[in-house]
Structure 1
Amino acid sequence: MDLRRLTSFLAVAEEGHFGKAAERLFRSPASVTAHIKQLEHDLGVHLLERSPVRLTPAGERFVGHARGLLAALDAAMADVAEAGAARALRIGVMSNGSAELTPAAVQAFQRACPEVPVEFVALDFTEHVSALVQNRVDVAFVRPAPVDERIAVDVVTTERRIVVVPASWELADAAAVSLDDVLELPYVSLPEHTPRQFRDYLYFADARGGLSPHRSRSHAVTPHEVLTTAAAGRGAGSALESFQRYYPWPGTVCVPVLDAPPEHSVLATRSDDRNPAVRTFRSLTTSLARELGPRLRLA
């Protein structure tokens, strides 16, 4: 069925006048009249009385069908257009991500794939793995590397470790410290559902010989909470060295831990993800990590 016939019929039915319907549709009165006659011929019934113009019983019943057909067409076109639109790439970022490499990777991706929208999702310490597994993000800059067969990992930075302590503590006056100086500090507490890899990272677990850390009564799942706890003199945190460039905070001091093994930040993705945008972002990020790392103050 010619959709022009439907639109002409509905316009005449709503305007009650062939001339006004033609003006509304930017068509000639003759073409509107022809559309109505052709539609009536196709259906085998009269839809409109001509003088005065009004709907016949058949026309009254057909109005609803005509509107439904046109609405269904509009919905189908909108659905197809949505399916054809590029899906946004959702980028999860924990803390300061992979330092200067994170914005560099995003900018490179936007240049390479300008048609793909980018959305940022801030991740807290408990979302080390879950944000990807639960399909809330497509790629994630996290630390340390998740150990999970569902997650693919690319190491993109390797950095020195620091501790974040209250400026009022004696330790804050040191230019640098050793692991022996920091293992007995009261660290911020993490929720029970925090992934073990992140707990071990925060508390320098490898250096503890199986002993549990001292924990502050203050809990934290974000850098802001770590910093406010430290500024209040209520506990310490730990991070990668780039943390202090992104989070200078009154009342806190970041002190390098010289003999702590360097730690990685990584780009994590789902192992089974075949999204071309994810593959492109992963390739660009790993290339930038190799080529630009030293120039981005990551060495």
Structure 2
Amino acid sequence: MDPHLLRSYVTVARHASFSQAARELGYTQSAVSQHIAALEQDLGAPLLTRRPVAPTPAGERLLEHAGPLLLRLDAARADVVRLAAAPRHGLTLATTPTALGSAVLGALPPAGVTLRVLPRAEVPAAVATGTADLGLVDGLAAPSDPLRLTDVAPLTTHGVAEEPVSVLLPAGHPLAGRPGLRLGDLCDARWLDAPDAALPLAQLRAATGGGAFRPALRYEGTDVRTLTALTVAGHGLTLLPRAAATGVPGTVAVPLTAPRLVHRTEVLHGGSPGGAAAELVRRLLGAG
């Protein structure tokens, strides 16, 4: 399967338009049409209806495979280029917002760093494809257990920090006076669904064996301050690392006592990092 044809197909399906896909890819519309026809001939199945432009059932199945396949190709290219390239000055660090704890911030060099705050799922891909030198990801885990990351490419991970987690509640919430809270007792509470700014509800469900944790409001952003403001306004509870949850005006951070979980942060890289990236990894491992 020709990856150029596959990339054209994914772009047409995303835009639902041959002309818009041609503009993005830098081809003529006729060339894109020929790409799709060639891919359909190769696979022996129609992939798109033309009016309207939409994936067929076979095309939908191909889309499920296409993203990981193209990402792997981009990662392979970036890995080879990384080996052949001269060491770069400066450092690009892709990170989730709640991975930037005090241990990480204290290890950053004083100059030459570009921070890219991304949704969790995008951090490994940024490192794999070479748009970031290093990545920082975080999540819930049992103490000393590694995070379960999507396998996008051969990446090396190191645990750099673990800290307790707290439930963030409005100051007037009935549970605000508790010394600790059990996650299983909060399955039916009103929760904020903020997968990229807080610890994702899917991880809470997994930790309790499938509790409800129904969202009262979904926040699709990476700004932790916006998230805590939503909690203050009573739109729902959220689970955060202790440092991020403590000291927020108008809220109370109650420690999570069961199950025994921590907020874990890991650094990831491809190949053997050099220069500023290698130095930051060394500092992070020393700080952890």
**Structure 1 residue aligned with 2:57:** none
Post-superposition Cα deviations, 1:86-107, rounded to whole Å, max 9, x if no partner, equal: 4320123322425221122114
Matched, 1:119 2:120: no
CA distance in 2, matches of 1:261, 1:98: 22
> 5+ unaligned residues in a row in structure 2: which ranges?
1-84, 140-146
TM-score (structure 1 length as normaliser)? 0.55
The structure 1 segments of at least 4 consecutive aligned residues displaced by more than 6 Å after TM superposition are none
Matched length: 192
Cα RMSD over matched residues? 2.9
Contact preservation (8 Å) 1:160, 1:261: no
Post-superposition Cα deviations, 1:164-200, rounded to whole Å, max 9, x if no partner, equal: 1222311122222122332222221247xx7xx9443
Percent identity reads 18
Call closer, same or farther: CA 1:96–1:180 in 2, change over 3 Å: closer
Q: Once the 2 structures are TM-superposed, how far is the Cα of residue 128 of structure 1 from its aligned partner? A: 4.5
**Structure 1 residue aligned with 2:180:** 176
Q: Which has the higher helix share?
A: 1
**Structure 1 residue aligned with 2:221:** 221
**Structure 1 residue aligned with 2:170:** 166
**Structure 2 residue aligned with 1:210:** 210
Q: Once the 2 structures are TM-superposed, how far is the Cα of residue 233 of structure 1 from its aligned partner? A: 0.4
Call closer, same or farther: CA 1:132–1:210 in 2, change over 3 Å: same
CA distance in 2, matches of 1:265, 1:282: 16
Call closer, same or farther: CA 1:189–1:159 in 2, change over 3 Å: same
**Structure 2 residue aligned with 1:6:** none
Post-superposition Cα deviations, 1:24-51, rounded to whole Å, max 9, x if no partner, equal: xxxxxxxxxxxxxxxxxxxxxxxxxxxx
TM-score (structure 2 length as normaliser)? 0.57
Post-superposition Cα deviations, 1:224-243, rounded to whole Å, max 9, x if no partner, equal: 23212211101111112121
Q: Which has the larger radius of gyration?
A: 1
**Structure 1 residue aligned with 2:93:** 91
CA distance in 2, matches of 1:259, 1:227: 23
Q: Once the 2 structures are TM-superposed, how far is the Cα of residue 220 of structure 1 from its aligned partner? A: 4.0
CA distance in 2, matches of 1:218, 1:85: 42
> 5+ unaligned residues in a row in structure 1: which ranges?
1-82, 111-115, 290-299
Call closer, same or farther: CA 1:188–1:130 in 2, change over 3 Å: farther
Q: Which deviates further from its counterpart, 94-103 or 230-239? A: 94-103
Contact preservation (8 Å) 2:207, 2:259: no
